[in-house]
Chains A and B, each alone.
Chain A
Amino acid sequence: MTEETLLPHIDEVNAPFWEGCREGVLRVQQCPATGRLMFPPRPVNSWTPGMPAVWTELSGRGRIWSVIEPHPPLMLNFTGLAPYNAIVVEVEEDPTIRIPGNLVAGAGAAINSVAYDDIAIGAAVEVVFEQMTREISLPRWVLRDA
């Protein structure tokens, strides 16, 4: 099991999301007619299906909606990091848009750099990015002064 197999698969539908991550911004799709946001990315605008969705930039701020601490058995490249945290973040613009990730002590810090017991649901966070390959940067999250 190579590390690459767990990295996202970029296709023509989701490319703007991952391009945004490379550029240091979170982007999600939006229905131009209703203003509603969509995540994960999709080929059809769910809220006005005849009208193409547009990509909109988020502030990168949100709150922790949930948190877990995975332990083995895990795939090899995560076994060495376990126990680590994984979180789901509800974004500031629309709390029903939730983005999974990890809470880290700072940009570039490992996904086991903040202990599960120190992570509170509802805590204010903001996005940072970690470059994994030339093409892929992953969004991570750091605590922010509320």
Chain B
Amino acid sequence: MKDATAIAGIGQTAFGKQLPESELELACQAVLRALEDAGIERSEVDGLASFTQESNSEVELARNLGLSDICYFSQVGYGGGAGPGVIGNLAMAVATGQCNVGVAWRSRKRASGAVRRPWSKSGSALLEEIAVNYTRPFGIIRPVDEIALLARRYMHEYGATREHFANVALAQRAYANNNPDAMMHAKPMTREDYMAARWIARPLCLFDNCLETDGALAAVIVRADRARDCRHKPVYVHAFAQGFHAQHQTMQNFFCDDPLRGPSWVAARRLYQQSDIQPADIDVAQIYDAFTPLIPLSLEGFGFCARGEGAAFTENGNLQPGGALPTNTSGGGLSEAYVHGFNLLTEGVRQLRGSAHNQVDGAATCLVTGGEGVPTGAVILRN
């Protein structure tokens, strides 16, 4: 599938808390803007892809947008791990002719209503999740508790400190401060602010956690030849892979032989096997960041440094503008918006079009990853 398809259009809504529109209205807005961006009529859409955690069905989206016949639809599971899988599977469907114009989207209203804190759900849905029987009774309840256990072990094994997690949070906040679409656009943060923040699950504080965001995003994928006739420079889907390792347990990745060698390692191995572009060739990265420790863990998994060196990689401004690997250049989930990582994909597209708010000069290649700690995926984009 190498370079056989391209992302021809991207669209997004405002990002905020308690937006007036419903999740369905937000999804429709984002899709319409992505089609407009590509210059493709909505009657041409024949493929739809999203997350299993998306609450709007393909059917509702298609009915509301007045779409025509839909010939391909699929969903990928595991929340923050899903994004690159959604894009990659849709790209495969377009590349193989299962559909011609594929639309991927994610819409989320997290800051209000029943879905605000999904970890607080109870009852039969929860009982199906076998492993929570061995964590929740002990007060390991939220995603942040589960990741904090990995983070604390990581600090112990490799000498990582809160300073390293702060490097991640501060680099991304600075990008967001220069991105008018970011929720943290006008909210600078200092290292002192970070260190003084309240604990959420020690060793992690408030600023180690992603935002809670209402918003939606969408992308349009077509075959490469079609993309060259669209409005913008094509951004090719160069390589794609998914992965999780033996005895992996989603979000509770301590029931396996080697918890700090997570799903990213599996996805990365297959990704680079398929790719002409290797870690040293990547100009800019968008790495899934529900929590700051996922950045050093993913930097290791995706081959930017050796195991145990991810924390040190955050030093010397490596993640910042002009650094060795500018990372999450829109502000990411920590400081732009948390929409299950879909904004990482759209930022990757903007970087390769040359239209990002924090443009990396001459960016020609971008890695976009899903979440470490869950079944994940990654795509390499190029222009």
Residues of A within 8 A of B (CB): 1, 5-9, 14, 39-40, 42, 46, 65-71, 73-75, 78, 81, 83-84, 86, 88, 96, 98-102, 111, 116, 121-122, 132, 138
Contact = CB atoms under 8 A, between A and B. Distances in A.
Given A71-B200, A100-B140, 11 more contacts: A5-B122, A5-B126, A7-B137, A8-B137, A46-B247, A66-B153, A69-B201, A70-B200, A71-B198, A121-B156, A132-B137
Given A1-B120, A83-B199, A83-B202, A70 B139 contact: yes
B202 A69 contact: yes
Contact of B199 (A8, A69, A78, A98): A69
A120 B326 CA distance: 35
B114 to A, nearest CB: 14
Interface string B247-269: 10100001111100000000000
Interface string B130-160: 1101111111111001001110110010000
A40 B153 CA distance: 20
Contact of B133 (A8, A67, A98): A8
A67 B139 contact: no
Contact of B149 (A7, A14, A88): A88
Nearest to A39: B255
Nearest to A95: B257
Contact of B152 (A70, A101, A121): A121
Most buried by A among B152, B153, B203: B152
A88 B137 contact: no
B127 A71 contact: no
Interface in B55-99: none
Nearest to A9: B127
Interface residues of B, number: 38
B156 A66 contact: yes
Nearest to A6: B136
Contact of B134 (A40, A73, A78, A111): A40
A40 B247 CA distance: 10
Determine chain B's interface SS by DSSP, over half rule: mixed
Interface in B343-375: none
Contact of A102 (B139, B141, B258): B139
Contact of A67 (B141, B152, B199, B200): B152
Contacts of A70: 139-142, 145, 148, 200-202
Nearest to B119: A75
Contacts of A86: 138-140, 145, 149
B123 interface: yes
B123 A5 contact: yes
Interface string B233-249: 00000000000000101
B82 to A, nearest CB: 24
A98 B141 contact: no
A127 B114 CA distance: 38
Most buried by B among A5, A67, A88: A88
A9 B133 contact: yes
A71 B202 contact: yes
Nearest to B135: A100
B226 interface: no
A101 B134 CA distance: 8
A14 B129 CA distance: 13
Contact of B141 (A39, A78, A111, A132): A78
B187 interface: no
A81 B148 CA distance: 18
Given A75-B120, A86-B149, A88-B149, A65 B254 contact: yes
A75 B257 CA distance: 31
A100 B198 CA distance: 25
B191 interface: no
Given A40-B131, A66-B156, A86-B149, A111 B139 contact: yes
Nearest to A98: B254
Nearest to A10: B133
B228 interface: no
A5 B117 CA distance: 16
A101 B138 contact: yes
6 contacts: A5-B126, A67-B149, A68-B201, A71-B201, A88-B149, A116-B202
B122 A88 contact: no
